[in-house]
Chains A and B, each alone.
Chain A
Amino acid sequence: MSTTSGVTFRDRQGHRIGTLSVANVLAWLAIVVPIVVVAEVTRSSAPTSPWWPALVLVLLAIASAELPDSMFPLTTVLASAGWWIAVVEQVRLGPTLVVALGLLVFHVAAGHAALGPQGRDDDGAVLRGVVTRTAAVGALTVVLGAVADVTTGRVDVPPAGLGLALLAAGALPWLAGRWKRSGAGH
């Protein structure tokens, strides 16, 4: 029988404590690194802000990586966004997009990690599907950001308008699903 690639740690009774494998490390990094990036970008966007919120965020991210199917990831997202709202005054598109995409990657990685025990054997098709959907949402976010950036100063686009556009874009798949189901029902 082949064994899982990686190093397995066991206690004296032979019970497995955990496995350290490349896949495990990558999954862990996919959760923690985006939050490190978010914290760094927030700090650089607001240099006068205190350092300790960054530490709290990283600790929350580590807790999220250990317990992805818990309230830790939500707390991490809200804390990251809350810190951004509280300290960043000079808003620029680049840092905003990096933080938005960082939160997206963190959310997707934590969600994927919560689908089963850590260290499980993932089908390649599942990973491809996750990457494809994340890329699509990320691209849509970039487009939205670009539209907001281009129109700022030229056309007076209030945040409410942007929010409505976002809701309209998000409602499309919902409407498509409703339409598909009603079609199947007939």
Chain B
Amino acid sequence: MNPWRATHAHLRAAVAGFGLLVAGLVLGRTDVVLLAAPLALIALAGQAARPQETPAARATEGALTVHESEEFGWRTVVTELPPGGVVAAFHPGQRWLDVEPEDGRLVAAPDGTATTDVALRATRWGRRRLGGPVVAAYDAWGAWRWTADPFAGLQVTVLPATEPFDSSAPAPHPHGLVGMERAGRPGEGTEFAKVRAFEPGDRLRRIHWPTSARTGRLHVTATYADQDARVVVLVDAVNDVGDSEGIDGAHSSMDLTVRAAAVLADHFLRRGDRVGMRVFGAWGVSFVPSASGRMQLRRLLDTLSLVEPGTARGEDALAARQALGAGTLALMLSPLIEPASTRQVAMLTSAGIDVVVIDTLPQELAEGVGPGTTDQEALAWRIRMLQRRLERDQMASLGIPVVTWTGPHSLDQVLRDLTRRSAVPRLGRR
């Protein structure tokens, strides 16, 4: 069975062309025959050009992982087209997806093969299946149409963008065996500590010859050990406040949270630290154990891209403490809308864990009328904002640093303060 179907244009040319021709003949009017002439000619040419071939179409399919704002392509190749044939390809747009060209593309097939490329750009993190693209082919006269079988849309995992963050501030509690942090104890490393007398087991290449020659005894250069820190990123996904317009537009609280978490994880992993993650309020993802390396970054970004805010409410505040030991640097990313997040911060601090609270509520919401539309909702939002300010002040008075996320460098000063403070002994409840 021929897979080509007549188009409205062919039907129009045939009906109008031959209809007018018959009318002209019946009425004996040459002018009507002349009106019919171009349409009848096109109808005959279109009928003569009816394709017999069955085209074959291939398109980009499967799963793809990209970063926010990264361009990727959708390509279709249609072969076995009739001479002069054309191919129309259309990829539907959707929220947080830019498509170029938005209305599809019409390309010629000079040698029976047509290739169409559509550029796509995901503007928000997350995992989603893109809408099904459509491909159709036409003969040279646009009289016959062949439609390809529906293509499955691409399964795209969009990882949050990790903008460069080059903080020089050290993490407060380095421990472990490798990393870029300078430990408090001497060991193998690169940071100079002192020149001391040689001891059995010291490496010969460590001998400090000027001092050894001057004193007559062997001396070596001692260094501080290079060690890593353990950082846990706590993601509050109980609420997503505000509208998200993708990476180029307005940000919701969850946008800021996820992107900030990605930037921080990238930063600490680049330094050789071990980074883990715990997500509250999202069904399906909860905890990623601490580890180091590029694979861990990918694991964390994958986890962040799966976050569906507000899908798991009412978690026990104690859950925040699980698998977190003293000496861990906990970075709590939260819009501080839910009182439960404040309780979690208090619990972690009392357990001797250094917590930095990073406020990810968009500035315009914190100072504006909020997401509500009615007067009552606006009033409720204002009351909640006042309570929130009070909670922030209480945390600050307890020595818990609260930083409003304005970009990666918001943390620099806080990390320096924590490092300085970690040198001072203090009591912690276990």
Contacts and interface: CB of A to CB of B under 8 A. Distances in A.
A114 B143 CA distance: 11
A174 interface: yes
Q: How many interface residues does chain B have, given as a range? A: 35 or more
B90 A116 contact: yes
Given A74-B12, A148-B30, A174 B47 contact: yes
Contacts of B71: 1
Contact of B38 (A104, A122, A148): A104
B30 to A, nearest CB: 5
Interface string A90-107: 010000110111011001
A123 B85 CA distance: 12
B399 to A, nearest CB: 43
B191 interface: no
A73 B373 CA distance: 46
B25 A148 contact: no
A78 B107 contact: no
A154 B12 CA distance: 35
A129 B141 CA distance: 9
Contact of B27 (A8, A78, A85, A170): A85
B48 A173 contact: yes
Contacts of A157: 30
A129 B84 contact: yes
A150 B99 CA distance: 56
A129 B84 CA distance: 8
B88 A115 contact: yes
B172 to A, nearest CB: 42
Q: How many interface residues does chain A have, given as a range? A: 35 or more
Given A104-B38, A141-B41, A159-B28, A16 B84 contact: no
Interface string A145-179: 10010001000011110110011011101111110
A166 B37 CA distance: 7
Chain B CB within 10 Å, residue with most, of A69, A99, A126: A126
Given A1-B121, A3-B100, A78-B16, A158 B28 contact: yes
Interface stretch (B3-11, B266-274, B308-316, B354-362): B3-11
Contacts of B101: 4, 119-121
A111 B24 contact: no
A70 interface: yes
A168 to B, nearest CB: 10
Contact of B29 (A77, A91, A107, A152): A91
Contact of A85 (B9, B29, B49, B119): B29
A74 B19 CA distance: 11
A91 B331 CA distance: 87
A163 B24 contact: yes
B142 to A, nearest CB: 5
Chain B CB within 10 Å, residue with most, of A19, A157, A174, A176: A174
Contact of B34 (A107, A122, A123, A141): A141
Contacts of B183: none
Interface in A2-26: 2-4, 8, 14, 16, 19
A137 interface: yes
A74 B16 contact: yes
Interface string A32-66: 00000000000000000000000000000000000
B177 interface: no
A88 to B, nearest CB: 7
B304 interface: no
Contacts of A115: 86, 88, 106, 136, 138, 142
Contact of A4 (B7, B15, B100): B100
Contacts of A133: 45, 140-141
Contacts of A71: 8
Chain B CB within 10 Å, residue with most, of A91, A101, A148, A166: A166
Contacts of A162: 30, 33-34
Contacts of B106: 115-116, 120-123, 126
Contacts of A158: 28
Contact of B49 (A100, A121, A145, A177): A177
Interface string B137-149: 0101110000000
Chain B CB within 10 Å, residue with most, of A71, A120, A144, A176: A120
Contact of B33 (A19, A111, A163): A163
Interface of A: 1-4, 8, 14, 16, 19, 68-71, 73-74, 77-78, 81, 84-85, 88, 91, 96-97, 99-101, 103-104, 107-108, 110-112, 114-123, 125-126, 129, 133, 137-138, 140-141, 144-145, 148, 152, 157-160, 162-163, 166-167, 169-171, 173-178, 181
Interface of B: 7-9, 11-13, 15-16, 19-21, 23-25, 27-45, 47-50, 52, 71, 84, 86, 88, 90, 93, 95, 98, 100-108, 110, 119, 121, 136, 138, 140-142, 245, 249
Given A123-B108, A140-B38, A166-B41, 9 more contacts: A1-B100, A81-B35, A96-B31, A107-B16, A114-B142, A115-B88, A121-B104, A141-B38, A148-B33
CB-CB nearest 8 A-B residue pairs: A170-B44, A111-B9, A174-B48, A116-B88, A125-B108, A104-B38, A119-B103, A121-B101
17 contacts: A2-B100, A16-B93, A73-B12, A78-B16, A81-B16, A81-B32, A84-B31, A91-B31, A100-B35, A103-B39, A125-B108, A129-B140, A148-B30, A162-B30, A170-B40, A175-B48, A177-B50
